Amino acid sequence: MANRITPRSQDQNQWYLDVIREAQLADYGPVRGTMVIRPYGFAIWERIKESLDEKFKATGHSNAYFPMLIPMSFLEKEKEHVEGFSPELAVVTIGGGKELEEPLVVRPTSETIINHMFAKWIQSYRDLPLLINQWANVVRWELRTKPFLRTLEFLWQEGHTAHATPEEAEEETLRMLDVYATFAHEVAAVPVVQGVKTEREKFAGAVRSYTIEALLADGKALQSGTSHNLGQNFAKAFETQFLNEDNELEHPWQTSWGLSTRFVGAVIMTHGDDKGLRLPPRLAPIQLVVVPIWRNDDQRDLVLTAANEIAEELGAAAGGPGLRVHVDDRQQRPGFKFNEWEMRGVPLRLEVGPRDVASGSVVLARRDTGDKATIERADLAAEASRLLEEIQEGLLAQALAFREANTRPALDRDSFQAALDQGGFVRVHWDGSSEDEASIQAETGATVRCLPFQTDEESGVCFYTGRATQTIALFAKAY
């Protein structure tokens, strides 16, 4: 199975598509640009969803659901919003065999329809803050697609909140960006850069947009999650008002923020190798797979009994460490199973045969390094937990090292192009305009990914305009 994957060094794009196919993560849908997420791919998304949903609820948000069909007039209420999304809209004009009086847009994002409801729900400062999250699908008519990373339809969550003051809205915007960054680092082992988008790159209708940007193994950047301060733009468009504590009417300040199934693509590209996926243990649907090995029916019964006992010991049912364990009791040869679980990126593989049962030991193999060791059954729970943490930390360290090695400074246009040709982030002093950004993109294909937080550089000279500035920008080619 492993030799069906194109080596990364030969063709990164084909490697990515091969891994998705062989690990059975997704398949192409019948409509161009769509994908079918297969059970294992969806299990990874479910782990992302579970982790984030817990964090959302811990910060006071409640889940709700809003319709996917939105009246066209709703989008047209916020001029910048409709202009920004117009090229990507899918529009329904016929329903029930009749032409509709008003075209309906298939949800590209939900700011408009949610604001329509907020206008009904918000009357007083006592109704604020209103903290809503939605897990849903959206449709954006993409011309160039790639499974998970950019598809016509994708799954995501979108948070929408309303606040009594601009300070509260800004605090919320940054809080949720930090939730995304914490998840990316601590659960997915994907190091991301937090920063603010430029005016040209911000969300249509926002006052400010913040982002987490990942650097993938092919040297391209991926906008992995965004958080937007919407100010009062949508509140004014939808005439949402509340009586403040001074009994005066004013518009609430709002935010929206989202992370989608493209993050599955980020995980694949960040951690995968020529054998397939390598999943960080905290994200992996299966943390440890037990592969029983037998030659005849008598051995099969003996070994399967031991395998199921081990799974129970390592799971939560018997008071174990609560690992996510799967026993592969299929009839296929052990070698086939080894290759398949390597392909699927399960962090630990446990092998148990008749001799292991007799000796009270097992063989434990790591997916990240390939190292194997014989472990006593009595020590297994503690050792498996220790190794999973070690694997988690190791994958993050490798990804961080890759990002650092592929973040290059540039002082002028020539060094900028040279750095860009090598791939990765190009770090520059920046004092350009939106027009300058458009010219650079046309010339090089690169965009400003963000103006990163926590920069400690001294004043410098913008590589493009020659003007003095303290602003730092990260440029890259991106998905």
pLDDT of 205-262, one tens digit each? 899 999 999 999 999 999 999 999 999 999 999 999 999 999 999 999 999 999 999 9
Tokens of 111: 């700011």
pLDDT in tens, 114-153: 999 999 999 999 999 999 999 999 999 988 889 999 999 9
Summarize the chain as % helix, strand, coil (round to 5): 40, 30, 35
DSSP state of 288: E
Q: CATH classification of 288-390 is 3.40.50.800, yes or no?
A: yes
For 106, the 3-state DSSP assignment is strand
- Listed residue (272, 267, 261) closest to 145, CA to CA: 261
Calculate helix-pair angle for 380-405, 262-271, nearest 10 degrees: 90
Q: What is the CATH number of domain 2-271?
A: 3.30.930.10
Q: Terminus-to-terminus CA distance in the chain, angstroms?
A: 29
For residue 85, what pLDDT is reported? 78
Confidence tier at 3 by pLDDT (50, 70, 90): low
For residue 298, what pLDDT is reported? 86
pLDDT in tens, 427-476: 999 999 999 999 999 999 999 999 999 777 778 999 999 999 999 999 99
Confidence tier at 192 by pLDDT (50, 70, 90): very high
Please tell me the distance from the alpha carbon of residue 337 to that of residue 43, in angstroms, as a whole number. Answer: 19
- Domain parsing of the chain, residue ranges: 2-271, 288-390, 407-476
For residue 457, what pLDDT is reported? 72
As beta bridge partners, residue 153 has: 139
Kindly state the average pLDDT of the residues 16-43: 97
For residue 1, what pLDDT is reported? 42
Q: Is the pLDDT of residue 2 over 50?
A: no
What is the value of pTM for the model shown? Answer: 0.95
Buried b (16+ CB within 10 A) or exposed e, 295-328: eeeeebebbbebbeebbebbbeeeebbebbbebb
Q: Hey, how many other C-beta atoms are within 10 angstroms of the C-beta on 156?
A: 19
Q: Is the pLDDT of residue 56 over 50?
A: yes
Q: Tell me the CATH number of domain 407-476, given options 3.60.21.10, 3.40.50.360, 3.30.110.30, 1.10.1740.10.
A: 3.30.110.30
Kindly state the average pLDDT of the residues 395-419: 98
As beta bridge partners, residue 255 has: 161, 229
